[in-house]
Amino acid sequence: MAEDPGAFAEDPDAFTIEPSPSGRLLCGGCAPHDVCRLGVEIAEARDDAVRFEVVCPPFWHGGPGVAHGGWTAAVFDDALNIVALRIEPRLVTKSLAVRYLRPVPVGRPMDLLARIERHSGRRWEVSAEMTLTGTPLATARAELRTRRPHHFARHEAWLARRSPSPNGPHAES
Ligand SMILES: CCCCCCCCCC(=O)SCCNC(=O)CCNC(=O)[C@H](O)C(C)(C)COP(=O)(O)OP(=O)(O)OC[C@H]1O[C@@H](n2cnc3c(N)ncnc32)[C@H](O)[C@@H]1OP(=O)(O)O
């Protein structure tokens, strides 16, 4: 993320994901911990494709010994962005489609290969497959967009126009 947190506070659009002190590409939530709490590690990077090792942490289990589908989707969101982030640091996910083919085990290292399918201007199409010992467990496709200037500032201005209720966020109709 942005090196200077002061600059980010003043200009939210200064936010970019940069390598952490240990060289990882981490989201804003994990960067202060210098570890991906979803269990995603880059194993090998090429220009248009990145191979990851992913392990579902126990606190993300859904059924017994099986990953919550939201973990799988979040891991794909990370991996599909990382493959393009190495070229374009200002991205957001526009759509994400996951196919759950088999249950995903907790605590077992798996392979995830993400690749750039197409890129034109602000538009990116990316795809990925998660496998265990060569067997596909889940696949995903996403459309990404290079953020327009002032993306986060526009969001903050939009949010500010929705006056917070003194009784908390759920009290407003
Ligand atoms: C581990 C480290 C690496 C991985 C880190 C994790 C990466 C995670 C990536 C994510 O998950 S990002 C979070 C999930 N995605 C979003 O929050 C994106 C929300 N959607 C949007 O901001 C817009 O829909 C989007 C920028 C995707 C639209 O892009 P488009 O190119 O299709 O359309 P365009 O920019 O022309 O905007 C379409 C409409 O959205 C409006 N819009 C776009 N950006 C906006 C904005 N920032 N604030 C308010 N409105 C916005 C825009 O005005 C316009 O409104 P109208 O249709 O009424 O004309």
- Choose which CATH entry (1.10.10.10, 3.90.950.10, 3.10.129.10, 3.30.565.10) describes domain 38-152: 3.10.129.10
For a substitution probing ligand 1, which of 52, 93, 147 has the most ligand atoms within 8 Å of its CB? 93
How do the domains of the chain map onto residue ranges?
A: 38-152
Whether ligand 1 lies within 6 angstroms of the CB of 78 is answered as yes
3 state SS of 141: strand
Q: Does ipTM surpass 0.90 in this model?
A: yes
Can you give the pTM of this predicted structure? 0.89
Query: Is the CB of residue 142 below 6 angstroms from any atom belonging to ligand 1?
Result: no
- Binding site membership of 94 for ligand 1 (Cβ less than 6 Å): yes
> What would the pLDDT profile of 65-115 be if each residue is shown by its tens digit?
999 999 999 999 999 999 999 899 999 999 999 999 999 999 999 999 999
- What does the pLDDT look like over 4-41, one tens digit per residue? 444 455 677 888 888 888 888 898 889 889 999 999 99
Q: Are 105 and 56 in contact (CB under 8 A)?
A: yes
